[in-house]
Structure 1
Amino acid sequence: MIIRELILKLQELMPDFPAIAILGPRQVGKTTLAQELVKNIDPQSIYLDLESPSDRSKLAEPEQYFDLHEGRLIILDEIQRMPDLFPLLRGAIDQRRRKGLRSCQFLILGSASLDLIRQSSESLAGRIAYEELSGFNVLEVDLVEDHPEKLWLRGGFPDSFLASTDKSSMTWRGNFITTYLERDISQIAQFVPANRLRRLWTMLAHQQGQLINFSKLGSSLDLTSPTVKSYVEMLEDLLLIRSLRPWLVNVGKRLVKTPKVYIRDSGITHALLNLTKLDDLLSHPVVGGSWEGFIIENIISVLPKGTEYGFYRTTAGAELDFVFSLSGKVWAIEIKRTLSPKLSKGFLNAVEDIQASHKYFVYAGKDTFPMGSGTFAIGLIDIMLKLKAS
């Protein structure tokens, strides 16, 4: 079993929060993580899958059910299927608190972020902590042979990454995409046509890491710009894509203000483009955007919660692939899949614009070495370890 780094953070939160929500897309390992987390804390914990009719029936009278199992940790999986539970959870938590039960009583798992956070925050303010579980990152799978390349090709969903062959991994991802389109998304938005959403998702894969143009996408799909925007926002809410916002600073220059969009899991990007093997990927035009998105997702996975990040670009050509602020210092990151990194004029101008104090070029090699102008070439694993130690 691959140990998830998030488990240590959750163990720290459990004594202080009566409810903890773990958010993440389906099949990313939330249930496995939750069961591993409580195995030694409360072996008598209760697991309820709210997509199962039999488990939902147990909550026909939820207040009575919670009273009956007072003192036991209850795991509620796919909580978005029963949002009416949130106000009742508040009453159960407050009642248990009055009896001295202050540590984690409810572990809530959900596959949609914005709606779930809004509904729970309204009812459970001050009683719940949120954490997000993404796919495997390179530090979690470091014992697997050829793990960075394998993780990049297959993505971080456990069943995809751990499949016996690249072909089996591709089959799993294809089924995952179909299930999301034909079942899961229809439960949230009944009037979204699966075929158009697949086309949109595939178009986003082709444009991985590019500035999004809703009008252009709408013209290709015969949809209005607002409709396409709503579909993209839905995919973002389902934690399947990430909109990377511009890093806006007052530098007296004309800045690009349109977001860039990435499919968060590189394996899903490759499945949508039918790229089964590494050779297929390396010869495809998406290789640069795919590598960039892969690096960004891995870096985000080790950044402290609430870190501000984005990209920087001016209309004059100054550009940074990834920028974030950590402990009051601005980090500038250039990303290229190359073994011979070279600094561009656009990068040097951009780091001067934003007054970056940490400057790195993340490349495909492993060694760290200076490139001049205070910039270092660095491999993905090393910059992630450096960020964890910061």
Structure 2
Amino acid sequence: MSYIKRNLEKVVSQVTKEYPVILVTGPRQVGKTTMLQKLMEGTDRGYVTLDDLNERTLAKSDPELFLQLHKPPILIDEVQYAPELFAYIKMNVDKNHEPGAFWLTGSQVFKLMRGVRESLAGRVAVLSLTAVSQAEMVGGEMEPFTVEREALTARKTDRVEMDTRGIFERIYKGSMPAIVSGTNSNSQIFYSSYLSTYVERDVKELSDAIDSLKFLRFITAAAARCGQMVNVAEIARDAEINQTQAKDWLGILETLGIIFYLHPYSNNLLKRLVKTPKLYFYDTGLVCYLTKWSSAETLESGAMNGAILENYVVAEIRKTYLNCGKEPYMYYYRDKDAKEIDLVLEHDGVLNPIEIKKTSNPGTELIKVFGLLDRSSTPRSKGAIVCMKPGFGAIDRENYIVPIWMI
């Protein structure tokens, strides 16, 4: 298996010199351990995983002895299984003040964060690793996606141009390292195994009372609504569970790093806005598996092509921030008249409106909705249509046309 160089490596190397504890979170199988073990090569850093039940038992029952046996510098894998370690890691850090002493990984983001906040506040750098991004697939340099002409022009030089079929092939296969590297050639077999081996097991760790078949129906119902405003009642009905369960299970999917939400943009000068978030999956390959598309060709011409394409673009833009160690400020706009802007980026005191379309020939009518943001107290800056056009262009001086392969 060829190693895929990850953009987050640079960030890990940097914060290792500054923080005593580095915590890399992210869903199963996205390459957290592989990346950190690659960075460990040639160093004296040790490694232990709490997937090993003997090590996990010791870490939970006698965390002090565990850390005596596994002295820093150390990489502790799947640390969420023993939150008892956090207090002892804190004591070690406060005593020794050694940068980069502890590298931790974990697959249960929010459960982990609570333990970190309580024990390691100010001592830990928390980073998120996602599935492989477009830039990482082609070995390109990654910067957070912004709607600035210079930055977009620079992106053209280290990306690989793709046509519509190529992009839908990428969407269909997904972006898990095992698929991208060619270790697993059949994405459908991979995702079937992924669900039964990892997701089901981790879900049961978080909630004993989950029925596997009901949970599969539930996650399928959620996938069928990717890129849409969350409708808990509809998801619950399709999964044959109650709404409280559906809310709880959505929380579990978010905790495991499988889904994320885009919240509506709000501002005290903008009235009559909706308040419901939109639901997205980090990996479109999982969505395609759950919603039973048989090939990239059928997906491209199918009823869900627009929703899954939007999911892909939003997730890829989000990855460009997370994989640089930065928090993305991403929203969508929708008012009570159902006027909508697919994506609003907020940074450096301005708003960038973005529309996502399957078209390869976008027209001026698509940018009319951008004016809805002019009533906001935060000024609107450049806008973009992210679409299937093969090359970078512009509709006018204020609005660019960005090919999806350039994200």
Fold match by TM threshold 0.5: yes
- Give the aligned partner of residue 115 of structure 2: 119
Q: Helix, strand or coil for the counterpart of 1:300? A: helix
Kindly report which structure 2 residues correspond to 1:374-389, keeping only aligned pairs within 5 A, or say none.
Answer: 374-382=398-406, 384=407
- Give the aligned partner of residue 53 of structure 1: 53
Q: Helix, strand or coil for the counterpart of 1:267? A: helix
Amino acid aligned to 1:118: R
Counterpart CA distance in 2 for 1:373 and 1:250 is 29
What's the CA shift for 1:336? 1.0
Counterpart CA distance in 1 for 2:52 and 2:184 is 31
Mapped pair 1:74 → 2:74: yes
Q: 2:302 aligns with which of 263, 273, 284?
A: 284
Mapped pair 1:323 → 2:369: no
- Give the aligned partner of residue 252 of structure 2: 234
- Give the aligned partner of residue 63 of structure 2: 62
Counterpart CA distance in 2 for 1:78 and 1:238 is 12
Is the deviation greater in 29-38 or in 365-374? 365-374
C-alpha offsets along residues 140-179 of structure 1, whole Å, 9 cap, x if unaligned? Answer: 011689674443221111112233675x122111110122
Distance 1:352 1:366, change over 3 A: farther
Amino acid aligned to 2:366: S
- Contact 1:329/1:358 (<8 A) preserved: no
Is the deviation greater in 345-354 or in 281-290? 345-354
C-alpha offsets along residues 304-333 of structure 1, whole Å, 9 cap, x if unaligned? Answer: 623322100112232111112111121111
What's the CA shift for 1:47? 1.1
- Give the aligned partner of residue 154 of structure 1: 173
Distance 1:138 1:161, change over 3 A: same
Distance 1:69 1:25, change over 3 A: closer
- Contact 1:208/1:289 (<8 A) preserved: yes
- Give the aligned partner of residue 302 of structure 1: 320
- Give the aligned partner of residue 366 of structure 1: 390
Q: Which runs of 5+ in 1 are unaligned?
A: 385-390
Is the deviation greater in 233-242 or in 138-147? 138-147
Counterpart CA distance in 2 for 1:346 and 1:210 is 22
RMSD: 2.2
Q: Which runs of 5+ in 2 are unaligned?
A: 140-159
What's the CA shift for 1:181? 4.5
- Contact 1:218/1:228 (<8 A) preserved: yes
Q: Helix, strand or coil for the counterpart of 1:140? A: helix
Mapped pair 1:313 → 2:334: yes
Counterpart CA distance in 2 for 1:238 and 1:379 is 31
TM-score by length of 1: 0.90
Q: 1:357 aligns with which of 378, 381, 403?
A: 381
What is the number of residues matched between the two proteins? 375
- Give the aligned partner of residue 347 of structure 1: 369
TM-score by length of 2: 0.86
- Give the aligned partner of residue 125 of structure 2: 129
Counterpart CA distance in 1 for 2:245 and 2:317 is 31
- Contact 1:208/1:286 (<8 A) preserved: no
Is the deviation greater in 107-116 or in 273-282? 273-282
- Contact 1:23/1:113 (<8 A) preserved: yes
Counterpart CA distance in 2 for 1:365 and 1:239 is 31
Q: Helix, strand or coil for the counterpart of 2:264? A: coil
Q: Helix, strand or coil for the counterpart of 1:104? A: coil
Counterpart CA distance in 2 for 1:262 and 1:77 is 27
What's the CA shift for 1:221? 3.0
- Give the aligned partner of residue 94 of structure 1: 94
- Contact 1:313/1:350 (<8 A) preserved: no
C-alpha offsets along residues 189-248 of structure 1, whole Å, 9 cap, x if unaligned? Answer: 111222111111111111111111112222333333222111111111111011111111
- Contact 2:32/2:105 (<8 A) preserved: yes
Distance 1:346 1:260, change over 3 A: farther
Mapped pair 1:109 → 2:105: yes
- Contact 1:308/1:324 (<8 A) preserved: yes
Q: 2:191 aligns with which of 159, 173, 177?
A: 173
**Higher relative CO (CA 8 A, sep ≥ 6), structure 1 or 2?**
2
Mapped pair 1:273 → 2:273: no
Is the deviation greater in 49-58 or in 122-131? 49-58
What's the CA shift for 1:368? 1.7
Kindly report which structure 2 residues correspond to 1:16-35, keeping only aligned pairs within 5 A, or say none.
Answer: 16-35=18-37
C-alpha offsets along residues 317-371 of structure 1, whole Å, 9 cap, x if unaligned? Answer: 3211111211112111111122112333762343434442020010123312221
Counterpart CA distance in 2 for 1:252 and 1:75 is 47
Q: Sequence identity, in percent?
A: 27
